[in-house]
Amino acid sequence: MKIRCFILCLTLLIALQYSRCQNTSQVSTSSTLENGDEEDSSESPKDLTGLLVIRMSLKQMKILEKLKELELSVSDIFNCFAVISNLAIMLTIRRYKSSSVPRVYMSALALCDFGVGVCALIKSVQDRTLCLPEIYRSTVCKYTYWSVFGLEASASMSAALIAMFLSIDRCIALQKPFTYHLICTVRKAMALSISVIITNLLVCINYPFRIQVNEDSDDDQNKYVFSQYTEFGRIETYKKLFTSYEFLLRFAVPLCVMTITNTWTIFILQGNTRRRKTLSAKAKEPPKIKYLTTTVGVVAIFFVTQLTRAAYLTDTLINGNAHRGKYATEMISLFGSLVARFNSIVNIFIYVILDKEFRRMLINLIFCRRLDQPNANQQET
């Protein structure tokens, strides 16, 4: 009953904010385009706020703004479903009588994706309203816009690292099934997940110190661009340092490690299959590895959805802002952000399709049923 009420309230909230923000968006678009009628050349870059340099024609800017509006609408749907689905994952896992290492990582991953969805919804409201009226911009948006952006970035990085830990855990369970419970414990998994979340939160809290919202709305020359770098944020060394940190922990390290662990897992499975064919039926076999196919599915989806965003961040790391403001670059950024949103909602489909036990528990949760569960003392690998 609680989750149904939550879904209903969230749907009404999004519908209300969408209708409320539509007029504000249309007024801002018309004023933006009228002010730029004389400048229809991509050869002379315009430095809008110190944060973004426009290197495109007026026609391209119109197309980009329309696509941005569409991206916000689609992202709102994704973000709402991310909040609902990851809340359902956390509530479903809580219904298990026993705990295990993969369930700890799955709960932490759902918590991070839930945070990504909530922060993205808040940021979407502020993007649609352009942080207007001015009293809202100077009193609320000035202190919350980039703080929420930092929280979203930290949750996204934590989700990537926790998915990496889940992949490593399943590889260890397959490689050393009889000593797995001595190497990997629930307490270690909890401590590792909490440490990752807190560390990324402390690092990403620097966003409001690097970038600030303009208090004067009359200076805005482009839609969705109403911020500028602070003096601290203009330090190139620090900008490259944080960009490198985000690139490594959000994309490079998780993608490389998960590629290695999953490739290793496939080779181990093939070797076990060949050995099982040559052994007699009485030979001792290792225990069945749970959540193995689920983990492979999560990793595969993560790789596909994050690849575009990783390429964009790689370009930023190498060339700085030299390519920012170009039509092709901004289109890639827009597409990468939209595809990355999909990563927060797809996990529940993977769990439901590949895990029969999770599917049964989720149905019990939706219909408020109570069914018998496995013995709490039974160990799981």
What is the rounded CA–CA span in Å between residue 29 and residue 69? 10
Report the C-alpha gap between 287 and 173 in whole angstroms: 9
Report pLDDT for 84.
95
Q: Tell me the longest C-alpha to C-alpha distance in the chain.
A: 83
Answer yes or no: is 243 within a domain: yes
> What are the C-alpha distances in Å from 102 to residues 92, 190, 238?
14, 10, 36
DSSP code of residue 234: T
Q: Is residue 372 part of a domain?
A: no
- Whether residue 300 is contained in a domain is answered as yes
Q: Which domain holds residue 156?
A: 2-36+46-272+287-366
Per-residue pLDDT tens digits of the chain, which is 381 residues long: 555 555 555 555 555 444 444 444 443 444 433 444 444 444 445 544 456 667 788 888 889 888 888 988 898 999 999 999 999 999 999 988 888 999 999 999 999 999 999 999 998 888 888 787 888 888 888 889 999 999 999 999 999 999 999 999 989 988 888 889 899 999 999 999 999 999 999 999 889 998 888 776 554 445 456 788 888 888 888 888 888 898 899 888 998 999 899 888 888 887 777 777 776 554 555 556 667 778 878 888 887 888 888 888 788 777 777 777 788 888 888 888 888 888 888 889 989 988 888 998 898 888 887 655 444 444 455
Within-domain flag for 169: yes
Instruction: Answer whether 220's CB lies under 8 Å from 130's CB.
Output: yes
CATH code, domain with 238? 1.20.1070.10
Q: What are 20's two structure tokens? A: 């409320």
| Residue 374 belongs to a domain | no
Q: What is the dihedral of CA 108, 333, 308, 350, to 10 degrees?
A: 40
Q: Is 96 helix (H, G, I), strand (E, B) or coil?
A: coil
Q: Which of 189, 190, 194, 170 is nearest to 180 (CA)?
A: 170
Q: Is residue 107 part of a domain?
A: yes
Closest CA to 123 of 2, 227, 221: 227
Residue 379 inside a domain? The answer is no
At residue 187, the pLDDT reads 94
Q: In the prediction, which pLDDT does 299 show?
A: 80
Beta strands in the chain (DSSP E): 46-47, 53-54, 211-213, 227-229
- CB contact at 8 A, 1 and 368: yes
Number of domains in the chain: 1
In a domain, 280, yes or no: no
